Amino acid sequence: MIEIRVDEDACVGCGLCVKDCPMEVLQLQNGVCYPAHPENCMGCLSCHEICPAQALEHKGAVPSRRMYISMKVCNMLRKVI
């Protein structure tokens, strides 16, 4: 399983990673990002890229941009259908 680490001192609580994650892995708790469902992380590293504070680290993740895009499309279709 991918281990998600949040640098709580660096996180500014913007919530960008929470909105961006297609697997709903991340949540805000007391104004700081929190990996609520790390078991669902597919390691796309999109949240890592979007974070303005470089507060996210994913140990054991192999980037899969294609999978990220597929999940985004699936989630969009799920809302329409």
What Cα–Cα distance (Å) separates residue 39 from each residue in 2, 12, 36, 77, 80? 7, 24, 9, 23, 27
Which of 27, 34, 36, 53 binds ligand SF4 (CB under 6 A)? It is: 53
The reply to whether 36 sits near ligand SF4 by the rule CB under 6 A is no
Identity of the residue numbered 24: E
Q: Which residues pair with 57 in a beta bridge?
A: 5
Structure tokens at 79: 């809302």
User: Smallest distance from the beta carbon of 11 to ligand SF4, in angstroms?
Assistant: 3
Which of 34, 36, 43, 72 binds ligand SF4 (CB under 6 A)? It is: 43
The reply to whether 60 sits near ligand SF4 by the rule CB under 6 A is no
User: Smallest distance from the beta carbon of 76 to ligand SF4, in angstroms?
Assistant: 16
